[in-house]
Amino acid sequence: MYLAYLDESIDKECGLAMVGALLIQDDQFFVVEDYVGMVIENLVPINKLEKFEEFHAWELFGGHGVFEGIDEKERFEAIEALLAAVQSFEMPFVYSAVDTRALSNSAFGGANPIDVAFRMCARGIERKIAPGGDGALGLLIMDETKEAALKNQLKRSFNSERGKSAPPSRNPRRMFHMHDDMYFGHSRDSIGIQISDLCNYFVARKLKIRGDSERFYNIFAQRVFCAKMEPEWSQFRESFMEIGVQVAQ
pLDDT for the residue numbered 245: 45
185 within 8 A of 142, measured Cβ to Cβ: yes
Q: Domain total for the chain?
A: 1
pLDDT for the residue numbered 198: 94
**CATH code for the domain in which residue 72 is found:** 3.30.420
122 within 8 A of 140, measured Cβ to Cβ: yes
Mean pLDDT of successive 10-residue stretches along the chain, which has 249 residues:
94 91 93 87 72 80 87 91 93 95 83 94 92 82 92 92 66 77 89 93 91 90 93 90 62
State how far the Cα of 245 lies from the Cα of 218, in Å rounded to an integer. 11
pLDDT for the residue numbered 246: 42
Q: Calculate the CA 217 to chain-centre distance.
A: 14
State how far the Cα of 55 lies from the Cα of 83, in Å rounded to an integer. 14
Which structural domain, as residue segments, surrounds residue 235?
A: 2-248
pLDDT for the residue numbered 244: 62
pLDDT for the residue numbered 156: 92
